[in-house]
Structure formats: structure tokens, C-alpha cells
């Protein structure tokens, strides 16, 4: 029977290159060539010259195609033969033929896979100029020898298989890297949960109602608006919502809208195309794209520019964005959590915030109470921050509280809320090393007088003297003007008291009676 080689090549190539899943295209090709070449099995193997290992990565027979990972250590003779073929073109046949596969120096390991050491096999492989070494094998267990016609037809498939295999190996590497990234992301998310803590301090007392609302909304996809004063813990609550949601294995992207310059707002949030503006040398994904499949937390939402407000409204309504300078619409699957300490209704009346965006965000508002409205949480918060900061600073001894310390904290108004309390605990740990914490400086402020805080010379702001002066003045504020002792400036700055006084005289910083005079 006369065979049209062009027709054979075209049809086989279409089947070989029909699918990135190499096992499916291998089986499709196997079922086609069986009408022209005796075939009971087809295999694809790759060779790793660094580790000297041959791996069968796919096989196809009458039962179907499947991915495999059968590895064999290359024998010394086989390795030598491969090296000779790489250096000597005369030793590179288009098709390798083995009447008995088990006896062939290059293809012998194939017999272990097939279980038929007497099977007849042919093999073709990509050119050795390519960046990988591999082989495509076809064999029959009926011990039917391959004729010149069979060898000729099989040799036509060398280039198509080489291209398909090259594409698959790159595709497999992409999948491997994706799995690594997914695993890394899962690990980092778990580390983040351990650092931030799974349990919210005060969840059973002052924040009980807040946490009940968090439990209601977390499993959903609705936007959440967190309202409360600065320092009340809006980011902590946002993190809790994400960790309790179905998106907890996805990214959690935090954005402080007040910290992004207006000129960079659109680029940071929505990304930009290469050449979109001066300095845009490459394409950049914005924060919304990076939050794909997860949650985006927009802190200080009241600081968004009018243009960014319009685009955010589109994200919430249409679930799509456009990069700066781009024309392509990008679909996004994200959950939006917004937070602010500002009065958005006042901003609405002043025309500084869009009404339609406000009502889109205010689907489920959660008001986080100030610390002065949940004073019952102060003792447990103090204990939590004491242990946390003590561990971070590397202190060995467990800190204790002086008598009456908690009463001082309970009676203070806490304008800075939980953040101020955390800073107060850290400051107390610094000033009261190896002593019970007293919190003597709660609410204390240094009078801003010319004698106490000399005005720095603007021309020497960055001089060494100016830096030293600013450090000493800051320490005076913390210690209440005390020079010596465990709570003094000298102890805080780790300097001898007499050396400190000499420096203060040289820098013109008053101390002692000069301050009170």
C-alpha cells in the first residue's frame, strides 16, 4: 500500500501538537500511527545529564495515555555513548532501532517499564542542538521487525515531537513554579496568622459585639466598612474577617490610601502599561490585580482622590479594572474591606466623597469602639502587650506591674486608643528594666518652652551636633527631664551622666535648676 507521506505528516503533527497535556496528544498520535506502524505502546523519556537520570514522563497504549515519573540511573556505558553522540555527528542516526529492547545500550532501561525485554522498538529524539535530550519510543510486543518504510515514516515525526515536547517541558516548569508559589503563599499566610494572632484580644468583652458582626459577614463576599478612631485596631479586625472567610488562602493586600501620593494613586491601585507615562519602563500589576482571589483592605478610604473613587466604584460594581494607559478590561475577583477614622457623611455634604461609592461601601458597617469605651479590656491588653514587647526586645525576665499601675491606666482617657496603650507599655518596659512597671509618664507632656526645647539652627539640622541635640531632647521628654537613675536620660541613652551633662552644656541644652528657673 502506497502511503502519502505529506498527508501522514500533516495528520500526525496535528495530533501531536493538539494539546499541552502531553499524555493526551501522545495517545492521540499513537492511535493514528497504529494504522501505519506496528505499535502496542508509545513512550516519552527525557534525560538529565547533570544527575545522569533518564525519566519516562508519559506513555500511551490501547488503554489510554497517562503521565508517569519512572526514573532510571544511567549506566556508565550509556552515558559515554550519549557524550559521543553529542560530539560526533556521524553517530547520530535519525532513528534508533532495537530488535530486542533489553539488549540495546541506550534503550535497555525501557524493557523494565514494558516488561517485554524481547520487544521491538524504535526511537527518535530532538536534535542535540536543542536545550534538552529526550526520546520518543514506539514498540510492539509481537516481535515484528520494523521495515525501512516504518523507519522512514517515524523519522518524519522528529520535529513535531521536539516542538511539542519543548512546549510541554516549559509548561510543566510553569506548573511546578506555580505550585511552589501557592505553597509559599499558604506558608506565609499561616505565618501571618501566627504573628497577628488567631484570637482578638478583648473579643469576649469590649469587642464582643464587633466580633459577632465579624462572624456574620466573614463567610460572605459583601464589602465591609470599618469605622472608628485612629488606633482602635481596624486593621486587626480586617485581618480577622479575611482569616475567617472562604478567601483565607488567597492574598490579603493592605493599602494605606493616605500614604500614596496623588500622582501615583491610579498606578499603585490599578497598575500601568509599559510606556503609559514617563518612567513607565515596564508593565506593572496594581494592588487590585495582586489581590485576585483574596481580599483588599483600603485603610483611610477617605483619602482617595476623586478619580480613584470613580474607578473603585467600577471595581465594586462591575468587578473589572483597566491599567493606566491600557485598553484591556481585566476581570478581578476580590473582596473589598474599607476603613476610615473620618466622618464620611460630613465629607459627603462637603462634596469630598462620592455618595454612590459611600452607599456601595456601607453594605455592612462595623463601628469599632474606642478604648475609653471598653476600659474592661485594658488589663488583658496590657498583659498581652507586656509579653509581646518583652519577647520582641529579647528581655529574659517576665515583667510585672507596680501597685496601682492598672488604676492609672483605667483612669486615663486614651486619645490614641489601643496603639497608644501599646506604645505606653513599650516605653514602660524601656524605662523600668528589671522593675515593676509604673506608667508614671501616662498623659505627661513636656512644656514647649524656649528654655526647655531650644530651636535648632535650620542650616545645621543635619549636622552631628543637631542629631545629638534632637536625641537628647527626645529622651528628656520621655523621662520628664530626669538625668540620672534607672529612669533617667543617661540610662536611656546608655551614656555616663557626667559625659551627658558635658554634651548638654556644649549643645546649649539646659538641665537641672536652669530649667526650673
SS3 string, 329-376, reads CEECCCEEEEEECCCHHHHHHCCCCCHHHHHHHCCCEEECCCHHHCHH
Q: What is the pLDDT of residue 297?
A: 95
Closest listed residue to residue 122, CA positions, set 139, 102, 105: 139
pLDDT of 451 > 90? The answer is: no
CA separation for the pair 365, 371 (Å, rounded) = 19
Residue scoring higher pLDDT (20 or 197): 20
pLDDT digits (tens, 9 = 90+) for 73-99: 765 556 666 666 666 655 566 788 888
The answer to whether the beta carbons of residues 465 and 429 sit under 8 Å apart is no
Average of per-residue pLDDT across 431-442: 83
Least confident of 245-259, 440-454, 470-484: 440-454
Helical residues (DSSP H) of 125-273, grouped into ranges: 148-155, 158-196, 208-217, 234-243, 265-270
CATH topology of domain 458-516: Arc Repressor Mutant, subunit A (1.10.10)
CA dihedral 480, 485, 491, 497 (to 10 degrees): 100
| pLDDT > 90: percent of the chain | 33
Mean pLDDT to the nearest integer, 477-486: 80
Q: For position 461, what pLDDT does the model report?
A: 44
- Is 3.30.450.40 the CATH classification of the domain at 5-171? yes
CATH topology classification for 372-431: Helicase, Ruva Protein; domain 3 (1.10.8)
Domain boundaries, the chain: 5-171, 198-369, 372-431, 458-516
Tens of pLDDT along 170-208?
888 888 888 777 766 666 666 555 555 445 776 677 788
Task: Tell which residue, 119, 90, 84, has the closest CA to residue 104.
Answer: 119
Domain boundaries 198-369, corresponding CATH code = 3.40.50.300
Lowest mean pLDDT among 104-108, 143-147, 343-347, 493-497: 104-108
- Of 92-106, 146-160, 418-432, the poorest mean pLDDT is in 92-106
The band of 150, judged by pLDDT with boundaries at 50, 70 and 90, is very high
- What tens digit of pLDDT does each residue of 357-402 get? 999 999 999 999 999 999 888 988 998 888 888 888 888 788 889 8
- What is the band of 337 on the pLDDT scale with cuts at 50, 70, 90? very high
Amino acid at each position: 500500500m502506497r502511503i502519502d507521506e505529506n498527508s501522514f505528516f500533516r495528520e500526525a503533527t496535528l495530533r501531536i501538537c493538539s494539546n499541552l497535556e502531553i499524555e493526551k496528544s501522545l495517545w492521540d498520535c499513537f492511535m493514528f500511527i497504529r494504522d501505519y506502524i506496528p505499535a502496542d505502546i508509545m513512550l516519552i523519556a527525557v534525560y538529565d545529564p547533570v544527575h545522569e537520570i533518564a525519566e519516562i514522563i508519559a506513555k500511551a497504549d490501547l488503554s489510554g495515555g497517562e503521565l508517569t515519573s519512572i526514573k532510571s540511573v544511567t549506566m556508565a556505558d550509556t552515558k559515554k555513548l550519549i557524550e559521543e553522540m553529542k560530539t560526533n555527528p556521524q553517530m547520530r542516526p535519525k532513528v534508533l532501532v532495537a530488535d530486542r529492547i533489553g539488549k540495546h545500550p541506550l534503550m535497555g532501561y525501557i524493557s523494565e517499564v514494558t516488561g517485554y525485554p524481547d520487544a521491538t522498538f524504535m526511537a527518535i529524539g530532538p536534535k542535540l542542538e536543542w536545550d534538552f535530550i529526550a526520546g520518543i519510543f514506539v514498540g510492539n510486543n509481537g516481535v515484528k521487525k520494523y521495515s525501512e518504510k516504518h523507519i522512514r515514516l517515524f523519522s518524519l515525526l522528529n520535529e513535531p515531537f521536539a516542538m511539542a515536547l519543548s512546549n510541554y517541558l516549559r509548561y510543566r516548569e510553569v506548573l511546578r513554579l506555580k505550585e511552589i508559589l501557592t505553597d509559599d503563599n499558604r506558608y506565609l499566610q499561616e505565618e501571618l496568622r501566627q504573628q497577628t494572632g488567631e484570637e482578638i484580644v478583648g473579643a469576649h468583652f469590649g469587642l464582643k459585639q464587633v466580633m459577632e458582626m465579624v462572624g456574620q459577614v466573614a463567610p460572605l463576599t459583601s464589602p465591609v466598612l470599618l469605622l472608628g478612631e485612629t488606633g482602635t485596631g481596624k486593621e486587626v479586625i480586617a485581618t480577622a474577617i479575611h482569616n475567617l472567610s472562604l478567601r483565607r488562602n488567597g492574598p490579603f493586600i493592605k493599602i494605606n490610601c493616605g500614604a500614596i501620593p496623588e500622582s501615583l494613586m491610579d498606578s499603585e491601585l490599578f497598575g500601568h502599561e509599559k510606556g503609559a507615562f514617563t518612567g513607565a519602563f515596564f508593565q506593572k500589576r496594581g494592588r487590585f490585580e495582586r489581590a485576585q482571589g483574596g481580599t483588599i483592605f483600603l485603610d483611610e478610604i477617605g483619602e482617595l482622590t476623586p478619580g480613584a473613587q470613580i474607578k473603585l466604584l467600577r471595581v465594586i460594581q462591575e468587578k473589572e479594572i483597566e491599567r493606566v494607559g491600557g485598553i484591556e478590561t481585566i476581570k478581578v475577583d476580590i473582596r473589598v474591606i474599607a476603613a476610615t477614622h473620618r466622618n464620611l457623611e460630613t465629607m459627603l455634604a462637603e462634596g469630598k466623597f462620592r455618595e454612590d461609592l459611600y452607599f456601595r461601601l456601607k453594605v455592612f458597617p462595623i463601628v469599632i469602639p474606642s478604648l475609653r469605651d471598653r476600659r474592661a479590656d485594658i488589663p488583658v491588653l496590657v498583659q498581652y502587650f507586656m509579653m509581646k514587647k518583652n519577647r520582641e526586645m529579647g528581655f529574659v525576665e517576665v515583667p510585672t506591674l507596680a501597685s496601682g499601675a492598672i488604676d492609672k491606666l483605667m483612669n486615663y482617657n486614651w486619645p490614641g486608643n489601643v496603639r497608644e496603650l501599646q506604645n505606653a507599655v513599650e516605653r514602660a518596659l524601656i524605662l523600668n528594666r528589671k522593675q515593676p512597671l509604673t506608667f508614671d509618664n501616662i498623659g505627661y507632656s513636656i512644656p514647649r518652652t524656649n528654655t526647655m526645647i531650644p530651636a535648632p539652627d535650620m542650616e545645621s539640622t543635619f549636622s552631628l551636633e543637631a542629631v545629638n541635640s534632637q536625641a537628647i531632647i527626645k529622651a528628656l521628654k520621655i523621662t520628664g527631664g530626669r538625668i540620672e537613675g534607672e529612669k533617667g536620660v543617661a540610662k536611656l541613652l546608655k551614656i555616663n551622666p557626667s559625659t551627658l551633662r558635658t554634651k548638654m552644656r556644649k549643645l546649649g541644652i539646659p538641665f537641672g535648676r536652669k530649667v526650673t528657673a
